Amino acid sequence: MTDTTRPTADATEAQPSLLSRFLRDTEIDTRLLGMAGALVLIWVGFHFYGAIFKGFGAFLTPRNLWNLSVQTSSIGIMATGMVLVIISRNIDLSVGSLLGVCAVMMGMVQVYWLPQLVGLGNPMIWVITGIIGMVMGAFIGAFQGWLIAYREIPSFIVTLGGLLVWRGCAFLMNRGETISPLDENFTLIGGGPYGAIGATGSWIVGLLGCAFILWGLWNGRKQRIAFHFPLRPVWAEMFLAVLGCGLVIGAVLLVNSYEWPIGIVRQYAAAKGLTTDPANLHISYGFAIPVLILVVVAILMNILMTRTRFGRYVFAIGGNPEAAALSGIKTKWMTVKIFALMGFLTGLSAIVASARLNSATNALGELDELFVIAAAVIGGTSLAGGIGTIFGAILGALVMQSLQTGMVLIGVDAAMQKVVVGAVLVLAVWLDILYRRKTK
């Protein structure tokens, strides 16, 4: 049975174990906690495997974790959208191809067309290009959503068709040629030494993050008092505040401890005409721009899912489509909007992915749909619909990326990597089923 009463009410009941009391009082989602635990296990496992068998633990280094964060961004951004698609009992197999076609379009816009219109290196190029990519993604997504909702073609088929169609279009648009290099400002969005915000910027972001966490806890408590709902014990609130802020500050310290390689520093010093010896210049990377994009997307998407009517309706459609329709929710129009949002995020992800490679090719994003779906599902999104969280999906993306990176670092060959990733996906879903059965 699920416990609905809170600490104040059940003092007379039998004392539950220390751990379950702790979890109940802090209201930490055990599922999310389990995922975070699995992630830590993967990280520590790869690190010590490397340390023991290869003589060097490369995983838990600022450099690797920074790269991991950048590599997770593209899949993570799309995974937040896939959560909505899967919650509403649909699937989108076309995101990888859609990413490819958006990237090629943006490549052509910023390299072939815009420089002729506004001049090479114009600071508006990346803005216009980005908007075109995201709008294109949203339109294609909306079109697929329309086919699914109003023409009643199953989403599996529509997006399977899309998988082929958009990949083909990406090739046709530029005859399969790679477009590179891209606009200089545009490539900053992909990360890299210049595509990060530096030590000071990272501290500002970190402190804002802490303020946000504290405000959130404070506001939540105020609301509960206003409506006479049971409160978390003060120690639990404190614990959450310390944990949240600790994680944020830890992340800042981590990204700031990763410094520019000497070559880049020399280049930078020369460009700026600095007289200091480059060896004495310690310049931190700080948070990479794509990671910040992912964080902002995650926060906004989480607000969308938990605090708006739109999000409530997505869950309702997934829980019981008929009931949702009878409640006056326009379920078909919702489907179009959900797929348009997925397309928009895919366009955004295409910006990040192509900017990171400083090139746009028709092969960009191949197999991404599978990683995105896997991230969402590992993150606890139920394929039966109705259940899923944004943060879970991002943790899922991080798990997938950690596995891949870790295997590369310890020298597992490519074929074996596929075997492991595939097996982990199935295992994760099985564990999830067991977990849900137990907590029901």
Partner 1 sequence: MAQNTATPLVEMRNISISFGGIKAVDHVSVDLHPGEVVGLLGHNGAGKSTLIKCLSGAYHADQGEIFINGEKVDIRSPIDARSHNIETIYQTLALADNLDAASNLFLGRELVTRSGFVDDARMEAETRKIMHRLNPNFQKFNVPVSALSGGQRQSVAIARAVYFNAKILIMDEPTAALGPQETEMVAELIQELKKEGLGIFLIDHDIHSVMKLCDRASVMKNGQLIGTVDVKKVTDEDILGMIILGKPPAQAA
Q: Which residues bind partner 1 (CB under 8 A)?
A: 2, 4-5, 223-224, 226-229, 303, 307-309, 312, 315-316, 318-320, 322-329, 386-387, 440
| Residue 88 C-beta: closest distance to partner 1, Å | 12
> What single-letter amino acid sits at 306?
T
Question: Smaller CB distance to partner 1: residue 281 or 325?
Answer: 325
In whole angstroms, give the CA distance from residue 204 to residue 82: 31
Question: Smaller CB distance to partner 1: residue 194 or 333?
Answer: 333
Cα-trace Rg, the chain: 23
Question: Smaller CB distance to partner 1: residue 326 or 415?
Answer: 326
Give the residue carrying structure tokens 């290099």.
181
| Residue 255 C-beta: closest distance to partner 1, Å | 31
Are 387 and 318 in contact, with CB atoms under 8 Å apart?
A: yes
In whole angstroms, give the CA distance from residue 371 to residue 140: 21
**What 3-state DSSP class applies to 160?**
helix
| Residue 380 C-beta: closest distance to partner 1, Å | 13
In whole angstroms, give the CA distance from residue 395 to residue 262: 33
Question: Smaller CB distance to partner 1: residue 324 or 397?
Answer: 324
| Residue 233 C-beta: closest distance to partner 1, Å | 17
| Residue 50 C-beta: closest distance to partner 1, Å | 42
In whole angstroms, give the CA distance from residue 21 to residue 23: 5
| Residue 397 C-beta: closest distance to partner 1, Å | 23
Long-range pairs for 113-117: beta carbons < 8 A, 24 or more residues apart? 114/183
Q: Which residues of 349-365 are buried (b: 16+ CB within 10 A; e: fewer)?
A: bbbbbbbbbbbbbbebb
Question: Smaller CB distance to partner 1: residue 5 or 276?
Answer: 5
Question: Smaller CB distance to partner 1: residue 282 or 307?
Answer: 307
Question: Smaller CB distance to partner 1: residue 56 or 229?
Answer: 229
Q: Smallest Cα–Cα separation from 76: which of 414, 334, 302, 386? A: 302
Are 23 and 17 in contact, with CB atoms under 8 Å apart?
A: no
| Residue 48 C-beta: closest distance to partner 1, Å | 40
Distances (CA, A) of 150 to 1, 84, 98, 327: 41, 19, 21, 19
In whole angstroms, give the CA distance from residue 101 to residue 109: 12
Question: Smaller CB distance to partner 1: residue 223 or 276?
Answer: 223
| Residue 393 C-beta: closest distance to partner 1, Å | 17
Distances (CA, A) of 272 to 258, 269, 275, 286, 322: 21, 5, 9, 20, 64
